[in-house]
Structure 1
Amino acid sequence: MHQRTRRALAGLVMGTLIAGTAACSASGGDAEGTGEAENVTITIMGKPAATNTAAVELFERQVAAFEEANPTITIEASDVPWDAKTFATRLAGGSAPTLLRVPLTEPPALIERGQVADITDVASELDSFDDLNPRVMQFLERDGAVYGIPEKSYAFGLVYNRTLFEEAGLDPDAPPQTWDEVREYAKQISDATGKTGFGEITTNNSGGWHLTGYDYTFGGRIIEQESDGTWVAAFNDDASRDVLELWKAMRWEDDSLGDNVLGKQEDLVAEFTAGNVGMWVSAPPDVYPNYVAAGGDPAAFGAGPMPQGGADATLAGATVLMVSAQATEAEKAAAVKWIDWRALRPNYDLEVAAETAKASAADGLPVGVPVAPIFSDEAYAAYRAAIEEYVNVPVENFAPYVESLTAFEYVPEPEVASQEIYAALDPLVQAILTDPNADIDALLDDAESRVNTILAQNAS
């Protein structure tokens, strides 16, 4: 592990800051070279949704502790999530927050358009910088410059209800490994319990997102780069047909997908939490906190590997933090300090990790959910050891998923216009799941044309 001298930050989220912690609060800048600290206010994304009261309370304590340790910096936080269309307008108009919280699909375009700041000078000084996972950082760097820091990473896996597995006569410790097994298990769950065997999402770009992830497991890709550097659609192939044929069979032959096929992820989380869905695909570590916050039974939560169609691959992504190009040098420095405080130290500085875990456990928040780490394996192992006494989640229920993280190839989301592509693919998925007579070849041809138009527009 990369080592630097690190200050103790005891009581980070408990609000009992020792005087020494003020040393980690460099000012936002130097007021006209006088040596006096410059007061700076930064607007940030990332505040938890108001419905998750415990998470909001913890977040607000972290803000208060940060401002006490950094008296020249004021934080104004928003719980508004990233939306590509809305924020495109805000970034163009200069009204975007100082600190952006975006999916890993967004950095290439944001960097290309000059809408995010080069933070190399301040980011490279962070204690944890050298241990950040290069599999994620490769998307946040260009020509030697750093434009963002990962907050968390994810890989697709299977989320499943262990109770429904048992009711259907299935072993909850042995989730399906292949799509053929998923189909078999889904029908068995539906037949035995009357519940939806396998849940699906198709709106708000989620249909295209899932088609992409499923396509990867069959060895396909959504777009590919030609020898001249242009990008073209690559999904009109057998891999996508295999996915669409699977959906069609499960929906219209097996009746294991249920009738609620035009929803988004939040809708499916609610149905899964209520015990009405046997299995579905997402990033299990991201689903679990919302599941528990909504009253889901931790013992019933299962996490398995991404089902495979022969490729041994899974879609991987991340949530990353980037600074607006409109930020002043003082605002940029302050934003990176907040990134370090909120996103990195609780997962890297072992004293802070233990204090954060202790406070989270006291608030009834999940502690110790296994994740795809943003740091090196060595740093992540040290973090797990530091929080071990506060872990309050059924870690063993995640074992099949955790094992898959080292077994599968990580395939990133489409490198160009990913969210636009997902939106263009939503109607294809919706048609398959709402029309028993849907023509797969015609739908693929139409979607290919639309995606190629999007790629051409992005290249111009």
Structure 2
Amino acid sequence: MDGNNGAAAANADAGTNAAANEGTANAGAGNAGGTVEIKVWDQPQNEDPNKPVWEEIQAGFEAANPNIKVTHETMPQGTNDREVFVTSMVGGNGPDAYQSAHFPIIGDWVGQGLALDLTPYWDGYADKDQFIPSSMTAGTIDGKVYGIPHDMYATGLFYNKKMFTAAGLDPNKPPANWDELVADGIKLTDTAKKQYGITLLGMEWADWWFEYYVWQAGGDLTHLNDDGTVTLAFTEEPSVTALQFYKDLKWKHKIVQNNVLQSYQDNMNDIFQGRAAMSNGASSGFGDYAANGMDLADVGFAPYPVGPSGQGPSQIGGAYWIINPKTSKEKQDAAWKYITYINSKEVLEKYLQFQSDNGIFPNLLSVRSDVNPADFAENVSQELIDNVNKAAANTHLEYFLKERLTPYVVKAVQKALTDEKSDPMALLAEAQAAAQKEVVDAYNASVKK
């Protein structure tokens, strides 16, 4: 998921050109010689390896825009960054600009009045056609633009080519459908070696990976209606089929990890240490494999195996910059100028160059069509790049209202994975009834007001 490293950052050199290129009729911050002060939640953590270049950019922007003073802050501490943001905004203490409005929740935040309609700015933005269409999908609501993407990833099937070869499988032929996933998983599972076929995610983010199987079965967990209301789809056939298959991977086929509730990091450790042959991967994750001792020549990446629907879409995720709708127009203008500076071609490429110079593996998917991360990545095969683009060609956004519905889906998934006698349909029916009563009824009522 997305870090707080300003993945759309670069350097002071780019500042003057970027700032000049991004001006619009609506972005005349700091006119009449005054100084505009804005608060932005984008200060990198001390342990962030990109911190030097991020701070260099910040200095570059202010050098190019002396009438805009930006106070960079780290997010206040809390158990959930999204809850911290919402609480701060409701209390009138939110930032003027924020970089972590994630793809699955920006629509919810727009509905809560937490994001400014950026359409007037966007319409005058010289670079608007440089952003790839899929990066704009979640941030464009009812034809209006509310977010500018700064980081994006696409998911797909990670597989260990070395383990495929050892199991007698073709390392250039990953499973193409559910049947092949099971068949390959059985061959890749060796309990004596504590080796298994594919990781499942059963911890508190379980719905994150489970929803992919729902898509592969031809459905989704929610439907967003034309009037803005939401209809739950937990008990629809694709959701039930997906949970049954998910359960079967554990109890019938026995090709997943023993501890299905283990942490996400433990899943990753199983990949790094050669215990898991297949898992979910992302265009932003290859650096982690390399940093943990894996040879990228052994890393396979492919679109997901298709389910009964004949589809295996990649999840696209990432984060948008948004602007506080409650702050002054002057501050909004200044925030827009800052955001477009951060997202300029010059800045993005300098950021990528910094990563290349410092041995930091880049995300291989860019929000801008005129910026190619592969140009800055050494020791990356064309095959890997091509497969990332192949996975990104068929994409799906995470299910609507996920932020509020996660606990209900997770409870059903965890029960299916830990109780062999559980009934997926009954579990999902129970989850849907609770979610309808405790979340969706109130949400739909608020939309209709």
Partner residue of 2:213? 214
Match status 1:358 vs 2:353:
yes
Partner residue of 2:327? 327
Residues 276 and 46 (structure 1 numbering): CA distance in 2 closer, same or farther, change over 3 Å? farther
Match status 1:457 vs 2:442:
yes
- SS of residue matched to 1:286: coil
- SS of residue matched to 1:383: coil
Partner residue of 2:367? 374
Question: Residues of 1 paired with 2:390 and 2:136: CA distance?
Answer: 23
Q: Alpha-carbon deviation of 1:276?
A: 2.8
Query: Which residue identity does 1:396 align to in structure 2?
Result: E
Deviates more, 1:392-401 or 1:430-439: 392-401
- SS of residue matched to 1:438: coil
Query: Which residue identity does 2:364 align to in structure 1?
Result: P
Residues 21 and 144 (structure 1 numbering): CA distance in 2 closer, same or farther, change over 3 Å? closer
8 A contact 2:159–2:301 mirrored in 1: yes
Question: Residues of 2 paired with 1:275 and 1:418: CA distance?
Answer: 32
Question: Residues of 2 paired with 1:58 and 1:336: CA distance?
Answer: 21
Match status 1:109 vs 2:108:
yes
Residues 230 and 17 (structure 1 numbering): CA distance in 2 closer, same or farther, change over 3 Å? closer
Question: Residues of 2 paired with 1:18 and 1:212: CA distance?
Answer: 41
Partner residue of 2:397? 412
Question: Residues of 2 paired with 1:252 and 1:242: CA distance?
Answer: 15
Residues 200 and 58 (structure 1 numbering): CA distance in 2 closer, same or farther, change over 3 Å? farther
- SS of residue matched to 1:153: strand
- SS of residue matched to 1:102: strand
Aligned-residue identity in percent: 23
1:391-420 CA deviation, whole Å, 9 max, x = no partner? 4433423433432433x3x333223x2222
Question: Residues of 1 paired with 2:140 and 2:288: CA distance?
Answer: 31
Q: Alpha-carbon deviation of 1:233?
A: 1.7
Partner residue of 1:428? 412
Query: Which residue identity does 1:450 align to in structure 2?
Result: A
Q: Alpha-carbon deviation of 1:285?
A: 0.8
Match status 1:337 vs 2:333:
no
Question: Residues of 1 paired with 2:16 and 2:208: CA distance?
Answer: 48
Deviates more, 1:81-90 or 1:108-117: 81-90
Residues 138 and 227 (structure 1 numbering): CA distance in 2 closer, same or farther, change over 3 Å? closer
Question: Residues of 1 paired with 2:83 and 2:11: CA distance?
Answer: 38
Structure 1 unaligned runs (5+)? 1-11
Question: Residues of 2 paired with 1:293 and 1:90: CA distance?
Answer: 36
Match status 1:394 vs 2:381:
yes
1:321-380 CA deviation, whole Å, 9 max, x = no partner? 2112233333323332332233x22xxx3x55554433221111124x532x534xxxx2
Q: Alpha-carbon deviation of 1:76?
A: 0.7
Query: Which residue identity does 2:396 align to in structure 1?
Result: V
Structure 2 unaligned runs (5+)? 1-8
Q: State the number of aligned residues.
A: 427
Q: Alpha-carbon deviation of 1:21?
A: 6.7
Q: Alpha-carbon deviation of 1:170?
A: 2.4
Question: Residues of 2 paired with 1:248 and 1:144: CA distance?
Answer: 40
- SS of residue matched to 1:73: strand
1:422-450 CA deviation, whole Å, 9 max, x = no partner? 22100111111112222222212111212
Question: Residues of 2 paired with 1:18 and 1:428: CA distance?
Answer: 50
Match status 1:74 vs 2:62:
no
Residues 273 and 77 (structure 1 numbering): CA distance in 2 closer, same or farther, change over 3 Å? farther
Partner residue of 1:277? 276
Query: Which residue identity does 2:307 align to in structure 1?
Result: G
TM-score (norm 2): 0.83
Question: Residues of 1 paired with 2:347 and 2:28: CA distance?
Answer: 26
Question: Residues of 2 paired with 1:353 and 1:153: CA distance?
Answer: 13
- SS of residue matched to 1:307: coil
- The match for 1:92 among 90, 93, 113 is 90
Q: Alpha-carbon deviation of 1:199?
A: 0.9
Q: Alpha-carbon deviation of 1:16?
A: 4.8
Once the two structures are superposed, the pairs formed by residues 173-188 of structure 1 within 5 Å of their partners are 173-188=172-187
Match status 1:286 vs 2:284:
yes
Compute the RMSD of aligned alpha carbons.
Answer: 3.2
Question: Residues of 2 paired with 1:167 and 1:106: CA distance?
Answer: 42
TM-score (norm 1): 0.81
Partner residue of 2:3? none
